Chain A
Amino acid sequence: MYVAVKGGEQAIDNAHRLLAKKRRGDTSVTELSVEQIRQQLPLAVARVMSEGSLYDEELAALAIKQAAGDLVEAIFLLRAYRTTLPRFSPSLPIDTADMLLSRRLSATFKDVPGGQLLGPTFDYTHRLLDFALLAEGEYPGPQITPNASLDACPRVLGLLAKEGLIKNESDNSDTVADITRDPLELPASRAERLQALARGDEGFLLALGYSTQRGYGRNHPFAGEIRIGDVEVWIDPEELGFSICLGSIEVTECEMVNQFVGSATELAQFTRGYGLAFGHAERKAMGMALVDRALRAKEFNEEIESPAQQEEFVLMHCDNVEAAGFVSHLKLPHYVDFQAELDLIRKLRKPAEGSNHE
């Protein structure tokens, strides 16, 4: 009987111990180290850092281990830890034009200044299970050319902007809100929207982005540029009077080129959608860019008729920690409310007094 859950202290302790046991699996197999997860599951680590809004590979790897590989749970663990951290200073905007690239591609131009760089990608791999991995062999990468250097790689959309072909994105130099400190109020600014999307669930953004490609809020996207690599993070402490570099982080940036706006008084211009995620996270960055562009419908006087274009719908439902929490709370006891419903439905089923039940 469910009431047997009463007296739950012992039950909770036992559940935690059973979970620890399940996480560990067969103890005759070597335990997975946090460093192994960090080194060998870097894409999982990237996702947990992005949606957990905290760039710390070691803690993200720890969260993945603790969550037994459940990434949404790991994201939650990292978020809960992040809340307790003090904020020293906002960083200066990162400059992705200066990125130390590991991958860069543009689907809009055959060649671009700086060139295309395929880098480590699943693209063009044949998705055939590699049974050699079962044998746990070593996989040396290609020869590295020492002292290799990249040409300057200006952002592709910047080149379009020079010709006035794409709408310029200008910094309105407003203070950037922090949606983890202040409640999101609607309608949100673009900065707040992008923050919410950056924390948003990859699967949710992927599906919404996909829906725009299938006609629900179509905006004709091209992958203008995707770049992955390391960028430096700088802060400008007031008391110092000069900026200092904290180190570098790996990010994935995606800029979509989308179809035009224009009017009788304004020449036609491409528009853009923007996506940015920690680590190597292409799918996330692309989904985010598609949804960002869809959410700009109002700004560009487009008709808002599809889910991906509805700011409140997207922003209020894209966070997987919120969504997973609220869905999972259905497992909590609801017997008081259910009792009230039982009472009600029995009452509704009683024929009204004095009336003939037909």
Chain B
Amino acid sequence: MNDMTQAPVRDAAYNFAYLDEQTKRMIRRALLKAVAIPGYQVPFGGREMPLPYGWGTGGMQLTAAILGDDDVLKVIDQGADDTTNAVSIRRFFARTAGVATTESTPDATVIQTRHRIPETPLHADQIMVYQVPIPEPLRFIEPSETETRTMHALNDYGVMHVKLYEDIATFGHIATAYAYPVMVDERYVMDPSPIPKFDNPKLDMSPALMLFGAGREKRLYAVPPYTRVVSLDFEDHPFEAQQWEENCAICASHDSFLDELIIDDAGNQRFVCSDTYYCAQRVSQQEQGQ
């Protein structure tokens, strides 16, 4: 552990990681099913958490269920460790589980995230936990859950391809920039959570276990390590991740996902890495190199 890692004292008024053991066991059972059927949405008895629905209650329940004494937790929101909601969730587990927390991607054993996958490649001993608002990739095409469950069961994904085709017919491109649908293990179409499509390729054959939790919708799903995850596309309109003409204004990275900042009234922009750990790491390497 490096100096960014610290173990706080656990608040003994709560069970370890807040949820009671029976609830955690129920979630782990559902997780095992999810891992056994990659990309399939498993209903689970989601509990009310002391944070609002939509603020990561699904991810938090998964993290609570898998966390052990010796885990090291990293929490990011928009790629950053110090966004308010990431701070709040990290504090929650520091308080209720007393686990060590870190900002370092390689040092973390569990990484809970909202909207990003870290730039630093993941390794086999790591688990990513994604916060998911709407787990159903077909939801905005078919609002009924009864219908979409049947469509998944019958492998009936025609509407999704029609939607992507209509995008191309209307705009010339597939008009989805985040929560871009993927095919998991050649069977289930899955919503990778609202990560930018830039991050989609990181899901394919990743050595880390990927867990997805939707608290309000009471669904969880998983991508086991080394599973094929293919972003949906067409032969003549292949999937393309975003690229920037600019470099990061802080670390000069040209390969990472950049956030745009508007810096003055004239609308001038600057671009910086969304992954704060990755950016800081590059800066410190550059300083050491000098």
- Seen from chain A, the residues whose Cβ lies within 8 Å of a Cβ on chain B are 1, 3, 5-9, 11-12, 76, 79-80, 82-84, 86, 180-187, 312, 316, 321-322, 324-329, 332-337, 339-344, 347-348, 352
Contact = CB atoms under 8 A, between A and B. Distances in A.
Contacts of B175: 344, 348
Interface of B: 14, 20, 43-50, 52-55, 57, 77-80, 82-85, 87-88, 91, 114-116, 133, 144-146, 171-173, 175-179, 194-198, 216, 218-219, 242, 244, 257-261, 274, 276
Nearest to B258: A339
B83 A8 contact: yes
5 contacts: A5-B83, A80-B50, A328-B52, A333-B85, A342-B260
A339 B79 CA distance: 13
A6 B82 contact: yes
Nearest to A350: B172
B78 A336 contact: yes
Nearest to A316: B145
A12 B53 contact: no
Contact of A83 (B49, B88, B114): B49
A183 B47 CA distance: 9
B45 A341 contact: no
Contacts of A183: 43-46, 218-219
B171 to A, nearest CB: 5
A141 B287 CA distance: 79
A51 to B, nearest CB: 12
Given A8-B82, A9-B87, A343 B54 contact: no
Contacts of A342: 260
B52 A329 contact: yes
Contacts of B197: 340
Given A328-B52, A343-B242, A344-B175, A312 B145 contact: yes
Given A8-B87, A322-B216, A333-B83, A341 B178 contact: yes
Contact of B177 (A8, A12, A322, A340): A340
Contacts of A83: 47-49
A15 B135 CA distance: 32
B274 A339 contact: yes
